[in-house]
Structure 1
Amino acid sequence: MKHLIIIAVLLVSAITNAQTNFEKGMQKAFELWGQNNWTEAEQLFERIAAAEPNEWLPNYYIAQMNSLKTWEEKDPKIVKAQLDKAQEYLNSAIGLTKDNVDVLVLQAQIYTNWVAFDGMTYGMKYSAKITDLYNTAYRLAPDNPMVLLSRAEWNMGSARYFGQDTKPFCKDIEKAIELFPNFKPESAFHPNWGKERAEEVLKSCNN
């Protein structure tokens, strides 16, 4: 019995240390990202993902960073490399979590990157998938402001493309803004973004 207690204590200690190391690493990665050290932050997320193979969050943020970087990139080879990397790490996240609206939204955003990069090639391929992803995320979490914002922005972009009125979707932006103050992510490291973006979009609605 004494040996079993010692083993149990050692296991609990190891788990606690692993969680602490994970939290410290994630915190440091976010600090680097906040300081605009994107490369260092991404590399740290990669090390965390390798060290914590059961955690989906570091994979998610590597994918998100590569998706975000693509919006400012014009070189087709770099765009493809970044989006391929984003998809690779998002696939890892998908394998670790089920019915996760954050992952669904990011998948839709990566597909949107492809459409924005080359609409002629990727518009028909991904547009319906993007709509389906956002609708699925909305069914799973109708009160998640990030879901509402992202879905509304996609619908507004589609409306503009087809020469339709975007105003009907402004109500979703307003609702997202109302939901942000009371939105509680599962932890300090779970996705919690979009409030400022929603406010920017709402301004365009009012102009």
Structure 2
Amino acid sequence: MKHLIILAFMISSAICGAQGNFEKGMQKAFELWENDKWGEAENLFERIAKAEPDQWLPHYYIAQMNSLKSWNEKDETVLKSQLDKAQQHLDLAKNISENNPEIMVLQAHLYTNWVAFDGATYGMKYGQTVTEIYNKAYELAPDNPRVVYNKAEWGMGSARYFGQDTKPFCKDIEKSIELFANFKPESELHPNWGQKRAEQVLASCN
């Protein structure tokens, strides 16, 4: 019995130590990112992803970084390289965490990157898919502020493109801000972004 207790303690200590290293590594990557050291942050996320094959968060943030870098990219070769890398890591994240609304939102962003780059070429290809992704994410998590806000902003962009009224979506933007105020991420490492952008969009509504 004594040996079993000692073994259980050793296993528990090893698990806690691994979790501690994961959290410390992730926090360090966030600090680098916040200090505009994007390359160092991305490299650290990649090392963490290799060391923690059951964690979806490092893959998520690698994908998000490459998506963010792609918004104003004019070189299609560079854009493709970044978004291919983002998609690769997002696919890995999906394999670890299926039907995850946070991952779905980021998947919609990747397709939107392509639409923003060349609407004539990629609008027809990805437009309907983005709408379907947001609808599915909303079914799964109607109280997730990122789901509500991004779904509404995509709707506004589509309405604007087709010359339709964008005002109906403003209520959803307002709802997302209320959700942001009460949203508690699963941990300090989990996605918790979007409120400032939602507030900017709402201001444009007014």
TM bin, normalised by shorter chain, reads over 0.9
Is 2:201 aligned against 1:201? yes
Query: Deviations for 1:73-99, whole angstroms, at most 9, x for unmatched residues?
Result: 111111000000000000000000122
Query: Deviations for 1:134-174, whole angstroms, at most 9, x for unmatched residues?
Result: 01111111111111110011000000110000000000011
Is 2:94 aligned against 1:101? no
Counterpart CA distance in 2 for 1:20 and 1:72 is: 36
Structure 2 stretches of 5 or more lacking a match?
none
Bigger mean CA deviation after superposition, 158-167 or 110-119:
110-119
Counterpart CA distance in 2 for 1:124 and 1:19 is: 44
Is 2:170 aligned against 1:170? yes
Is 2:14 aligned against 1:14? yes
Counterpart CA distance in 2 for 1:93 and 1:99 is: 10
Is 2:61 aligned against 1:57? no
1:2-81 maps to which residues of 2 (within 5 A)?
Answer: 2-81=2-81
C-alpha displacement of 1:116 = 1.1
1:199 partner letter: E
Is 2:139 aligned against 1:136? no
Bigger mean CA deviation after superposition, 7-16 or 20-29:
7-16
Counterpart CA distance in 2 for 1:64 and 1:19 is: 23
Counterpart CA distance in 2 for 1:69 and 1:55 is: 23
- The match for 2:117 is 117
Structure 1 stretches of 5 or more lacking a match?
none
Bigger mean CA deviation after superposition, 163-172 or 112-121:
112-121
- The match for 1:186 is 186
Which TM-score applies when normalising by structure 1? 0.97
Bigger mean CA deviation after superposition, 84-93 or 175-184:
175-184
C-alpha displacement of 1:36 = 1.2
Aligned residue-pair number = 206
Which of structure 1's runs of 4+ aligned residues deviate more than 4 A?
A: none
C-alpha displacement of 1:178 = 1.2
1:155 partner letter: G
C-alpha displacement of 1:121 = 2.2
- The match for 1:127 is 127
Query: Deviations for 1:42-86, whole angstroms, at most 9, x for unmatched residues?
Result: 111111100000000000000000001001211111100000000
Counterpart CA distance in 1 for 2:88 and 2:26 is: 20
* Secondary structure in structure 2 of the residue aligned to 1:95: helix
Q: Percent identity?
A: 69
What RMSD, in angstroms, separates the aligned Cα atoms of the two structures? 0.9
Counterpart CA distance in 2 for 1:55 and 1:167 is: 40
Which TM-score applies when normalising by structure 2? 0.97
